[in-house]
Structure 1
Amino acid sequence: MKRIFDVNPWHVLTTDFKPENKRLQESMTSLGNGYMGMRGFFEEDYTGDTLPGIYLGGVWYPDKTRVGWWKNGYPEYFGKVINAVNFIKINFKLNGTKIDLATANFSDFKLDLDMQHGTLTRSFIVDQDGQRVRVTFERFLSVAQKELSVQKVTFENLSDQAVELKVASALDADVKNEDANYDEHFWNVHEVTDDRLIAQTVPNDFGTPQFTSGMQVSYVTSLTHKAAEVTDTATVDRYFGTLEAGASVSFEKRVVVVTSRDYPTDDAIMTALQRLTDTVSAQSFDDLLAAHEAGWADRWQQSDIQIEGDTEAQQGMRFNLFELFSTYYGDDPRLNIGPKGFTGEKYGGATYWDTEAFAVPVYLGITKPEVTRNLLMYRYKQLDGAYHNARQQGLDGALFPMVTFNGIECHNEWEITFEEIHRNGDIAFAIYNYTRYTGDTSYVLHEGSKVLTEISRFWADRVHFSKRNQQYMIHGVTGPDEYENNVDNNFNTNYLAQWTLKYTLEILDQVSDDQAAALNVTAEERAHWQDIVDRMYLPYDKDLDIFVQHDGYLDKDLAPVSAIPADQLPINQHWSWDHILRSPYIKQGDVLQVMYDFIDDFSKTQLKHNFDFYEPMTVHESSLSPAIHAVLAADLHYEDKAVAFYNRTARLDLDNYNNDTVDGLHITSMTGGWIAMVQGFAGMRVHDGQLSYRPFLPKQWTKYSFRQVFRDRIIEVTVDHDGTTLKLIAGEPIDVQVDGTTQTLTQN
């Protein structure tokens, strides 16, 4: 495997520019601050293959659902993230020639994503008519001031003759999405002045809000300002100057970006733009950068994982955490975590079940509890949409969406949208997971009890009773393994339905009388839910001693993945969908996903039998798959397998494992490195409110350490050849188990 970036513990760095890798480089050098983000595309125009993309949190557009054969219950629209106004554009000319790296003669290229400080730097030397000029671009999206984008371009004349320099910097609304659903512009410019642009998304036919985006630009430079040109879609500031031999000059661009999500009128937007611009203008580039770097330092102080003896593993872990934090850090409960974050258009930028199943466990361990609570509140505030989704299918209760921006389902593939209903159970599990980990019952006994009740009402209506078997069943579903569609009695789905009903009944016994009255769960409902719990069908094969993924799975031709010719992998890029559906191959853990979620509820024998059967059948063509297998392998002491799965999840995008990183990073699967190490290698669990570890040290490593947030404490765990050391960094004394022995941790 040829890597396009150097292996470095804190940097994603390359000195090799190859046009065929341009999109990969853009994906891997994406920046974000939770409020907005962008791919690592060039500031200047590039006429080669590129995917420019800037995205604003919560700003999206509905497009008519397009299917060949309409079915009752389909969503009316398919929600998509939209490309924002390009506010980072900076073009330049040297001696009258516009520089375009697709055609220019240049050398000494360097591209550096500094994960420690949250900056992206690019430099190169242009050789133009015998004159050499080094150009260095620096940019960051401030984590200290979420609405702020900062850029700095430095031009250094390396030749012995003067160079005429011209710079054209723009706010440009002439942008499109590459996605085929969009063949028109979707920003209408309301106002454009010398330093400001306000645009609104084009009207839609579905009653969803239009979004307004406003941005104001300011510059710091010794170059001469020639003019500001205003068109219908852009404002362009032009600067010029003479760069003497050996001299250098810098050009700073600061852009403040606000939206109608926070400022609902044009007047409010303009007032906010001016206020924020005035604040930013009073600070130097170094001041703005120092505040931004301090914010990243605080994040790393709490969450950094250090690995000694394996630089590839170290880089992968930090890359995962960096891009995860760039996407979401819990500051806005209206936002969630899209599978591509701010790094591309695929998956529409919407919210999936990935958040509850994969992101929640990580955020619980690396941030304050409020961050995860905001993720839970996001679902609670979208209950009305979940009611709508259930009614669309003629069902009671709440069906949370597979894909959404506002709670309404907006995905148009039936086998995903209305068959992959296990996400309802995953959302219930996230409530349990938060409560178990933090000890905070304030959510589950109030908002959470409402969510659980409405999900349970959905499950109670969605199951059916088999008179022949005298058991409850669920037909016509797709589990986490999306290579099996429209199956009956998917083990994952049935188990989560049963567990959710059971957990809801437990919570109903704990809520206040007022909350119980508001929930209005009748005695008849409770009795019915308990009957479903008692008589839910869970497919099981006695001879193999395994839970069966779904009815009929064992009737397939059960050849392992190792039997597939190497030139046919990944199968999703070589086989027809019909071929995949008929095969026994599993996209990601399904039965094993449940066993990961409820790992303490299964015996080691059950875990071993199921892992040994299903893992050889799994192609891991979902980015979410390797982390789950890493934890289960570690629990079974399959340490080499655990490490292999860790490497795959931690470096999934850095090494482009699935050949699909060109259109954006796999943000929600970037939780996988932390999950594989902390829950896998370190064996972290929570039993009855007590934290416990059963660590092992991978053979290739000499040491690893991580910090974990747990119930108002920060605990540092270090594992090396001498054993495991725990240190309480902050908080009150706490008892923690290591390999079954209780230790009392105190500060100092």
Structure 2
Amino acid sequence: MADWTWEYEGYDPRTERLREALCTLGNGYFATRGAAPETVAGPAHYPGTYAAGLYNRLGTSLAGRRLEHEEMVNLPNWLVLGFRPHPADGPDGEWFTPDHDIGGLLRYRQALDLRRGTLTRRLRYRDRHGRHTGVEQSRLVHMADPHLAALRTTFTAEDWTGTIEVDSAIDGMVGNTGVARYRDLASRHLTRMGTGSAEPDIVWLRCRSSVSDVRIVLAARTRSVPEGAPEDVRTRLGDFRAGHRLTLPIAPGRPVTVEKTVALHTSRDRAIGSPLEAAVERAREAPDFAGLLDTHAGAWDRLWRRSELEVPGQAGRVLRLHLFHLLQTLSPGHTTELDVGVPARGLHGEAYRGHVFWDELFVLPYLNLHFPDLSRALMSYRHRRLPAACRAARAAGRPGAMYPWQSGSDGREETPQVHLNPRSGRWLPDNSRLQHHVGSAVAYNVWRYGQATGDTEFTHSRGAEMLFQIARFWAGTAEYDGAYERYRIKGVVGPDEYHEGYPDASGPGLDDNAYTNVTAAWVLARALDLARTLPAARRRELFERIALGPEELERWDEVSRRLRVPFHRGVVSQFDGYGELAELDWDGYRQRYGDIRRLDRILESEGDTVNRYQASKQADVLMLGYLFSPGELAEMFARLGYALDDDLWRRTVDYYLARTSHGSTLSGVVHAWVLARIRPGRAWTHVKEALAGDVADLQGGTTAEGIHLGAMAGTLDLVQRGLAGLETREGSLWLNPAPLPELSEFGFSIRHRGVGVRVRMKPGQLWIGVPPTEESPVRVVLAEDTVLVAPGEERLLPLPHA
């Protein structure tokens, strides 16, 4: 494969859904999976199109309970394009599908062009009568115009003459059926379907989401190229399907091309009269495929220039693919105009129902240094749902804001009450809504964004309001325990997720989760810092509006210094009592099951529970080393009255490394990040795991349901902040490199407070430069040295440990 191309050779129905997810094309407004246009939803294929932030709520009666779930809606399938040959001197061919004609497939190749954002498929097949036909198909989801997509198909008759019949349509008979675990839940979100035609070559389909009542319209223009009257064109309109049936003359040496251009509009769009009029007009006025490709490729070129990344070898290729999918899900040009968050599985499938979790914790640190306006827009999604978070806290008897673990359209808690273990077939209580640390993730992003950008307008207004209300929640949640003379946070679940409660306990929740408590203390300390530095007028206005008084600030200070962190056997405990749990027979389970990443499902299927064991899905204690530099972490523990030296941290890392199954794609990112500092010889294994998570589908079928956006962004950030040791604080760039032997040369460009900066790592040295087009210098801190790099200047700095 070339550096900018991701290719698949041959056809394998067993991996087709994985390819569809990894070959998804999008533009931040909507995305379409890389399904073959002639296929329908089934075991091997799943066409899916999703608009960012478009959710709908349905109810299901299950096991005697009435359950509600909200999910991202699978929209009508615009890809549909079937074909069959009609030779002049022989029997007609059948409608082609790769599954029916797999024996006659002589060539099948898919190529994802990352540079231009296109997916091309080339196939050659022999039908049952021995005739050979070639097909070349290219598609795009337009990065410049967020409402357009296009599909161009060229047919070549190698050894026959006649006509080829082409069926181009929009299919409204779709549902959310892409995840087998949800098969018992209601899945039909679209209603009030209608179809029509606007011109001889344009048809449209309109519908609504059944509860959220969003009007959705797709208009499709289908033309043959070169222009010339086909033998026959028929408009075909049904209740749930609108399309054209073209019959085109074809012969050896005279290929025929069909171009399909699609426009998508919804009633949420701005500056339109109606979605139907807007979609039809856009389809009518759109250029041909070549014209669309030109402006689309130009938009991608601008994105690549702003997110320059140079990493050699296979690692660089995978990182570029990860960046590609990040920019398709969260496009700087389009997502900034929408009310959307960071969907954990991108716009690439229906896993997690399209919900927003805490993945922005892994996404925004990268975006802050490349597309800060996009970071700001994504945090505004959280701010608009701050009232809902405050209502949730009040309902729980707590002050401040309690953000939901899973968020969707309006900010209420969307975490399901039950989940299915596909290994045992049992529905089990889902207690992950107790992961209140999601609020700390929101606060963390507010603070880091301000440090990276200097955007005081946001930080001192919406950002401060969120930070203060989250601090309020933690201060009100912490309970003083005289036996420890410390504050405690009880009844929560940490990022590990395997442990939802104590063995044989009557209810869920854990006490003094180290990650939760330390990050809560950090939030309280940063809220105090911000309260002190706010301009007087703004502080007075905000304090009055949210009724924040000096007595609350005093409690914040006290709690931030006296939250309890448990320890056992000379290491930080994941939660109170973790060290008393049983040890797992890791070797035995690996011998019996091989892949034990989802150890929780394995144990439950045996009638056991992971709550009984010292076994983690992802070691949440180590997450502290991901979020904070060694110096910051030591300072935070010191503020809490604990000593955290290098030896204690190394023991802690080693302890959990031996007890983690890596059941989350985020685990490889976190472990690689932490080990690069203290066990560099072991870090590369986890770097490879993080890079391979989706492209090799290490979780065993999950990527086919949608990519893991947080893990993809985390690998990008691993290079720029993890290995380069880049921090943004006090108006400067701080660098503390930790290059690995396997990845000691790399480069990237960032924007620091509006100034472009280029960074290059080489063995023993660091190169940093500011382009001459910039207007301001950048202050760089490396070890004990501070240098000022002026516009047009380049500096080569020796690494301290070299």
Q: TM-score, normalised by structure 2?
A: 0.86
Amino acid across the alignment from 1:112: A
Distance 2:529 2:259 in 1: 59
Distance 1:45 1:718 in 2: 46
Q: Which residue of 1 aligns with 2:422?
A: none
Amino acid across the alignment from 1:508: A
- Give the 3 Å change call, closer, same or farther, for CA 524–385 of structure 1 in structure 2: same
Q: How many residues align?
A: 723
Q: Which residue of 1 aligns with 2:575?
A: 550
Aligned-partner SS, 1:480:
coil
Q: Which residue of 2 aligns with 1:361?
A: 365
Q: Is 1:570 aligned to 2:621, yes or no?
A: no
Q: Which residue of 2 aligns with 1:495?
A: 518
- Give 2:234's match in structure 1, choosing from 199, 211, 227: 227
Shift of 1:721: 3.8
Distance 1:216 1:333 in 2: 22
- Give the 3 Å change call, closer, same or farther, for CA 249–354 of structure 1 in structure 2: same
Shift of 1:408: 1.0
**C-alpha contact 1:388 1:408 (8 A) present in aligned 2:** no
**C-alpha contact 1:338 1:667 (8 A) present in aligned 2:** yes
Shift of 1:589: 3.0
Q: Is 1:507 aligned to 2:509, yes or no?
A: no
Amino acid across the alignment from 2:112: L
- Give the 3 Å change call, closer, same or farther, for CA 297–571 of structure 1 in structure 2: closer
Shift of 1:521: 0.8
- Give 2:81's match in structure 1, choosing from 59, 76, 90: 90
**C-alpha contact 2:356 2:406 (8 A) present in aligned 1:** yes
Shift of 1:198: 4.3
Shift of 1:65: 7.0
- Give 2:546's match in structure 1, choosing from 519, 525, 542: 519
Aligned-partner SS, 1:156:
strand
Distance 1:137 1:216 in 2: 20
Distance 2:54 2:271 in 1: 13
Choose 341-350 or 467-476, whichever is displaced more.
Answer: 467-476
- Give the 3 Å change call, closer, same or farther, for CA 629–90 of structure 1 in structure 2: same
**C-alpha contact 2:195 2:237 (8 A) present in aligned 1:** yes
Choose 708-717 or 679-688, whichever is displaced more.
Answer: 679-688
Shift of 1:14: 1.4
Q: Which residue of 2 aligns with 1:191?
A: 194
- Give 2:614's match in structure 1, choosing from 560, 584, 598: 584
**C-alpha contact 1:626 1:672 (8 A) present in aligned 2:** no
- Give the 3 Å change call, closer, same or farther, for CA 662–324 of structure 1 in structure 2: same
Amino acid across the alignment from 2:670: I
- Give 1:37's match in structure 2, choosing from 23, 28, 31: 31
- Give 2:723's match in structure 1, choosing from 655, 674, 681: 681
CA offsets, 1:66-116, max 9 Å, x none? 67687xxxx973211121001111111112321111111221111111111
Distance 2:231 2:266 in 1: 32
CA offsets, 1:523-544, max 9 Å, x none? 3322333332232212134x51
Q: Structure 2: any 5+ residue segments left out of the alignment?
A: 87-91, 418-428, 501-508, 635-644, 793-802
Pairwise mapping of residues 243-282 of structure 1 onto structure 2 (< 5 A)?
A: 243-262=250-269, 268-280=274-286
Shift of 1:744: 2.9
Q: Which residue of 2 aligns with 1:239?
A: 246
Choose 96-105 or 565-574, whichever is displaced more.
Answer: 565-574
Distance 2:117 2:760 in 1: 26
- Give the 3 Å change call, closer, same or farther, for CA 562–258 of structure 1 in structure 2: same
CA offsets, 1:223-268, max 9 Å, x none? 3452111111111201112211221111000011011111699x51
Aligned-partner SS, 1:588:
coil
Distance 1:566 1:665 in 2: 29
Distance 1:504 1:701 in 2: 37
Distance 2:482 2:64 in 1: 34
Amino acid across the alignment from 1:259: T
Amino acid across the alignment from 2:613: S
Choose 658-667 or 408-417, whichever is displaced more.
Answer: 408-417
Q: Which residue of 1 aligns with 2:96?
A: 99
CA offsets, 1:364-420, max 9 Å, x none? 1222x2111111111111112212322332332211111111211111246545311
- Give 1:456's match in structure 2, choosing from 458, 471, 475: 471
Q: Which residue of 1 aligns with 2:295?
A: 291
Choose 358-367 or 602-611, whichever is displaced more.
Answer: 602-611
Q: Which residue of 1 aligns with 2:558?
A: 531
Aligned-partner SS, 2:407:
coil
Amino acid across the alignment from 1:446: S
Q: Is 1:652 aligned to 2:679, yes or no?
A: no
Q: Which residue of 2 aligns with 1:17?
A: 11
**C-alpha contact 2:196 2:242 (8 A) present in aligned 1:** yes
Aligned-partner SS, 1:255:
strand
Amino acid across the alignment from 2:551: E
Distance 2:213 2:391 in 1: 21
Answer 1 or 2: higher relative contact order, Cα 8 Å, separation at least 6.
1
Shift of 1:441: 1.9
- Give the 3 Å change call, closer, same or farther, for CA 723–560 of structure 1 in structure 2: farther
- Give the 3 Å change call, closer, same or farther, for CA 418–465 of structure 1 in structure 2: farther
- Give the 3 Å change call, closer, same or farther, for CA 66–505 of structure 1 in structure 2: farther
Q: Is 1:342 aligned to 2:347, yes or no?
A: yes
Shift of 1:560: 8.4
Q: Which residue of 1 aligns with 2:796?
A: none
Q: Is 1:64 aligned to 2:63, yes or no?
A: no
Shift of 1:634: 1.6
Amino acid across the alignment from 1:536: L
- Give the 3 Å change call, closer, same or farther, for CA 76–465 of structure 1 in structure 2: farther
Distance 2:67 2:541 in 1: 38
Shift of 1:202: 4.9
Amino acid across the alignment from 2:72: V
- Give the 3 Å change call, closer, same or farther, for CA 506–746 of structure 1 in structure 2: closer
**C-alpha contact 1:187 1:199 (8 A) present in aligned 2:** no
- Give the 3 Å change call, closer, same or farther, for CA 41–158 of structure 1 in structure 2: same
Distance 1:558 1:359 in 2: 34
- Give the 3 Å change call, closer, same or farther, for CA 196–236 of structure 1 in structure 2: closer
Q: Which residue of 2 aligns with 1:540?
A: 567
Pairwise mapping of residues 598-677 of structure 1 onto structure 2 (< 5 A)?
A: 598-599=628-629, 600-601=631-632, 602=634, 603-636=645-678, 638-659=679-700, 660-677=702-719
Q: TM-score, normalised by structure 1?
A: 0.92
Amino acid across the alignment from 1:63: L
Shift of 1:642: 2.3
Distance 1:102 1:492 in 2: 49
**C-alpha contact 2:432 2:493 (8 A) present in aligned 1:** no
- Give 1:399's match in structure 2, choosing from 392, 398, 402: 402
CA offsets, 1:203-234, max 9 Å, x none? 33xxxx31111111112314345211111111
Distance 2:131 2:727 in 1: 62
Shift of 1:643: 2.1
Pairwise mapping of residues 107-118 of structure 1 onto structure 2 (< 5 A)?
A: 107-118=106-117
Q: Which residue of 1 aligns with 2:319?
A: 317
Distance 2:659 2:626 in 1: 17
Distance 1:662 1:211 in 2: 27
Query: Could you say what the CA RMSD is over the residues aligned between the two structures, in angstroms?
Result: 2.3
Q: Which residue of 2 aligns with 1:3?
A: none
